[in-house]
Amino acid sequence: METEFDYVIVGGGTAGCAVAARLSEDADVHVCLIEAGPSDVGDDAILDLSRWMELLESGYDWDYPIEPQESGNSWMRHARAKVLGGCSSHNSAIAYWAPRENLDDWAAGGATGWSADECYPFYRKLETALDGAEHADAPGRGTDGPVTIRTVGDQDPCGEALLRACEQVGLPTTPFNTGRTVVRGANWFQVNANPDGTRSSASTAYIHPNLDRPNLTVLTGYRAEKLTIDTSGPRPRITGARLRTPDQRRALEVTARRETVLSAGAIDGPKLLMLSGIGPAEHLREVGIEVLVDAPGVGENLQDHPEGLVQWEALQPMPTASTQWWQIGIFAGSEGRTTPDLMFHYGSVPFDLNIVRYGYPTSENTFCLTPNVTGAQSKGTVRLSSRDFHDKPKVDPRYFSHDHDREVMIRGIRVAREIAAAPALADWVGKELAPGEQDSTDEELFEYIRKTHNTVYHPSCTVKMGAEDDRMAPVTPTLQVKGVDGLRVADGSVMPDLITVNPCITTMMIGERCADFIRRGV
C-alpha cells in the first residue's frame, strides 16, 4: 500500500472532497483523501435524501454529547457525519450562498481576500443550477459545476398554505439565491440534490466521478490519531498523519511531500490539532500533551444556530412522500437589519426528538416550524477530554449565554404562532402540541426553550482565519496554520463568524478556495 503522496487531506467531508478532487485534476500530483467513516458509494441509506433523518444518532454519526448547559438543553447531541462526504452526506441538503454582507464582514475583520466579490466566483465554479427554477439562471449563478442545486417543488398542500399564511403576516414569497439577501420572506428551499432524489453531496459530486483517477487515493475507515511533525528545521513542519487502520489493530503513517490539509470539521479539527500539540498551551499541558505551537484560538469561538420547535397537530393528512421533509425556509429578520437574525424551517413530519422526555404530546400527523437564531451571539469551546484520540472531546456551545439569543428565540415562537393563526392555515392548524398554549409569558417560553431546544447542526468557527497578528485566529486568510509549515485547514471551522444561512455550500466553497490557494502557491 502506497503511503507517500504529494498532498494528504485528513477528512473526507464537505470541504475535503472538494480539495481532493480539485488538486487531483493535476495528473502530475498524487492526492490521498482520508475518511474515518465508510464509503457512501452504493449506500442508499446515505444517497437517498428523503432518509436523512434516519442518520441522526445512527452508526453514521459521531453523535457528540455536549457539556452541561447553564442556559440550554444539556441532553442535546451534536450530529457529526461519519461517512465519505461528511455532513453533506448526512444533512437535509439545504443550499444557500452566504449573504454578501456576511462575507464582506469576514474580509473587514481580517480575513482579507474573502469578500463576496472574491468568494462568489467559487460558488459559481462549484454549482450547476437546474430544474427551470425562476431564479436558476439569475445573473452569476453557476452552470457547469459538479454540485447540482435545484428548487424543492413537491406537492405539499400544507406547505403551499404556509406560504400564503406568511404573505398574510408580511413575509412575502421571495426567491432565494439571487444575490440579494433575504431578510424577510419565505419560499421553497433550494437543495443540493439530483432530480431523482439522490444527494448531490461533496462525495457524489466531487469524488464518485473521479474514483478511477490513478493519482487519487481514497482511504475510508482510517481514523487519524494525530498529525506527524518534523522538528528538525527552523520551524515545525507537518508531514502527514498517523492513522489507525480499519481493524484498529495497527497504526499507519501517510506522508505528504508538499502539504497536508486538515478538513475534519469544527469539532474533530481542533481536537486533532490539539492532540498534535497545536492549541492553547495551558490546556494542552493539563491533558499531558507537549506544546508544539501555543495557539489560544484553537477550539475557541464555537458558534452554532440554536433551534426551537413549535409543533401542531394537522387537521388534514400530511404528505407521505417528500424530497427531504424540510422544504420551506422563512426569514423574519428584525426591522432595520441587513441580514436576518431569525429563520424558520418548515417540517412536514413530527420532530419530537427533544420534547418526549418532558411528556409533551406528539402525533404522527403533525407539522412544525423551527425558529433558529441565525446570528447567535453565544460562543463556546471545544476541548480535549484526554490525550487519547479515542475519547470524545468536550463540546460546550454555551447556548443562550447571551441575552440576544434568548430574545430572538422567544420572538421566534411568537412569530410562528402568528403565522399559524393566519387565515390561510385555518384548515390545517389543530392543537399546538409544543410548547402548548399554556406557555405565553417570556419566562414560560424561555423555560420551554431552555429544556427542549435543538440545533440546526451547524457548529463552526473553532479554528478561525484572520489577520497574521490576531493571536485568536489560528489560520491565515490563505488557510495556513500559523506557527508551522505544510499545514492548512479547510472546513467550516475557519469561518470567522457563522453565516446567517445554512453553511454547507459555503463549506464546499472554502474547499474550492483552499485548492485554488495551493495550486497558485499562495
Tell me how far apart the alpha carbons of residues 119 and 130 are, in angstroms, rounded to a whole number: 21
Rg (CA), the chain: 22
Kindly tell me the sign of the dihedral angle through the C-alpha atoms of 419, 425, 428, 429. positive
Backbone angles phi, psi at 156, to 5 degrees: -135, 95
Phi, psi of 206 (to 5 degrees): -100, -35
Q: Closest Cα partner for 272 from 287, 282, 281, 262?
A: 262
The whole-angstrom separation of Cα 132 and Cα 268 is: 39
CA distance 255 to 240: 4
**Which residues touch 426 (CB under 8 Å, ≥6 apart)?**
none
Distance CA(157)–CA(70), nearest Å, equals 41
How far apart (Å, rounded) are the C-alpha atoms in residues 329 and 336? 20
332 by DSSP, 3-state: which? strand
Give the DSSP letter of residue 403: H
Rounded Cα gap, residues 282 and 295, in angstroms: 10
Burial group, residue 299, by CB count within 10 angstroms (0-12, 13-18, 19+): buried
**Structural contact between residues 193 and 323, judged by C-beta atoms closer than 8 angstroms:** yes
Residue 453 falls in the annotated catalytic set = no
Compute the distance between CA of residue 99 and CA of residue 96 in angstroms, rounded to an integer. Answer: 8
Q: Which of 30, 90, 305, 458 is catalytic?
A: 458
Q: Classify residue 132 as left (phi > 0), alpha (psi -120 to 50) or beta.
A: left
Cell representation of residue 215: 493519482
Q: Kindly state the helix (H) or strand (E) to which residue 512 belongs, with its residue range.
A: helix 504-520
User: Which positions ≥6 away from 213 have C-beta within 8 Å?
Assistant: 24
φ/ψ of residue 366, rounded to 5: -135, 170
Closest Cα partner for 256 from 2, 516, 519?
2
Which residues are known catalytic residues?
458
